[in-house]
Amino acid sequence: MGFFDKLLHGLSGTGQRKNGLGSGQGRSGGKLPERAGRTGSAERSGRGILVFEQTGDVIQAEKALKKAGFAIAVKAPPPVLRTGCDLVIEYQLVLEPGIRAILAEKRLKPLQYYQVADELLEPVSIFHRNDYGEYLMVRAANMKITVQKSNLRIVNVSGGGCPDVPYLASLLMNRKLDEAQPLLDIGQQTLCGYALQLAFNEARTALCA
Amino acid sequence: MKKIDAKGLSCPQPMLMAKKAMEAGTDDKIEIQVDCAASVENIGRAAKQIGWNLTVLSQDGDEAVVELNKR
């Protein structure tokens, strides 16, 4: 069995975490062993990631946790944990008891809790910016939004493949970044709608800060 | 008529090229070649916003030739 096979085998077990954070009832998860020569392990050891089955769960969890004041971030999963849902939630381990309480209250059950103890478990930023001079394109996961920098008008929305993308694009096209409505507030819950909201927020951060 | 080859470019570049050409005001008719179906949709949306019509002249899989006409 090769290294990656062992790794995946270790990560895919259900029931108890193998190392690290203790063994709460019904929890599962894992922590890769520290290896000599790795850099940044001390920095990583204080963070964890939540893996959910569906994007809708990630969206609800993010909303509930942020509303409760937790500093969390939505990211893309590391390659070894990609199971279908393209997003994970990164959090500080010290916050885990509170996060568990909020998720239990909302009846949201992550598939796994992982401690980021190795670069193979490092979550990936879902954002990418591309500067075309007069325009800035921001991609979040599978959605892109392009803004004319001089007047902050949204000139293009693309990506996805969800049926709501044309409608969402029509809401945003030619609107200024500082006047377009946040999309989640009007009920979109697809991955595309959610990713577009994230791209929109990132573009605002980049150009309206 | 201005012709633009936007094959091999990913969104939003074909749309930005089309937008720039439409806004330049030097041509009333622009032909654009793309090889991404989403680009046709994006160019069409941008054209509509600034008063141009899009007609698909030919389409073969993801490759398409579209024509933009000023209204």
Contact status of A60 with chain B (Cβ, < 8 Å) = no
Q: Are A125 and A141 in contact (CB under 8 A)?
A: no
Q: Do B70 and B52 touch, CB atoms closer than 8 A?
A: yes
B38 touching chain A per CB within 8 A: yes
Contacts of A159 in chain B (CB under 8 A): 11, 38
**Nearest-5° Cα angle at B27, A173 to B17:** 45
Residue B34 predicted with pLDDT over 60: yes
Neighbours of A165 (CB within 10 A): 22
Is the CB of B15 inside 8 Å of chain A's CB atoms? yes
Instruction: Find tokens 């090889």 and name the residue.
Output: B35
Residues of A in contact with B13 (CB under 8 A): 132
pLDDT tens for A108-126 read 999 988 888 877 778 888 8
Proportion of chain B above pLDDT 90, given as a percent:
76
Every domain of chain A and the residues it spans:
3-121, 127-208
Contact A156 B12 (CB under 8 A): yes
Query: Least CB-CB distance to B42: which of A132, A158, A174?
Result: A158
A171 touches chain B (CB under 8 A): no
pLDDT over 90, % of chain A: 36
With tokens 């094959």, the residue in question is B7
Nearest residue of B to residue A157, measured between CA atoms: B42
B36 part of contact set with chain A, CB < 8 Å: no
Closest approach of A174 to chain B, Cα-based (Å)? 7
Does any CB of chain A come closer than 8 Å to the CB of residue B18? no
Q: What pLDDT digit, counting tens, does each position of A60-78 carry?
A: 999 999 999 999 999 988 8
A129-185 pLDDT per residue, tens: 999 999 999 999 889 999 999 999 999 998 877 888 888 888 888 889 887 766 656
Compute CA distances A164 → A53, A68, A138, A155, A184, whole Å: 22, 29, 19, 18, 12
- Four-way CATH pick for A3-121: 1.25.40, 3.40.50, 3.30.70, 2.40.50: 3.30.70
pLDDT, one tens digit per residue, over A11-45 is: 333 333 333 333 333 334 454 433 333 335 545 56
**Global confidence as pTM:** 0.71
State both tokens at A172: 């945003």
> Quick one: DSSP state of residue B10?
P
State whether B49 and A137 contact (CB < 8 Å): no
User: Rounded CA gap, A11 and A138, in Å?
Assistant: 33
Mean pLDDT to the nearest integer, B37-61: 92
The answer to whether the CB atoms of B41 and A155 lie below 8 A apart is no
Residues A183, A207: Cα–Cα separation, whole Å:
18
Of residues B9, B69, B1, B6, the one with CA closest to residue B32 = B6
- Across chain A, what does the average pLDDT equal? 77
Does the CB of A148 have a partner CB in chain B at under 8 Å? no
**Residue A116 DSSP code:** -
- Check residue A103 and report its DSSP letter: H
CB contact B41 to A (< 8 Å): yes
Which helix (H) or strand (E) segment holds residue A112: the answer is strand A112-115
pLDDT of residue A84: 61
Mean pLDDT of A43-51: 80
Q: Is A191 exposed, middle or buried (0-12, 13-18, 19+ CB in 10 A)?
A: buried
Span B18-46, average pLDDT: 92
Q: How confident is the model at residue A191 (pLDDT cuts 50, 70, 90)?
A: confident
Q: Quickly state the pLDDT bin for B51 (edges 50, 70, 90).
A: very high
More confident residue, A110 or A186: A110
Residues of A in Cβ contact (< 8 Å) with B16: 132, 135, 146, 155-156
Q: Between vectors from CA A58 to CA A56 and to CA A59, what angle results, nearest 5°?
A: 65
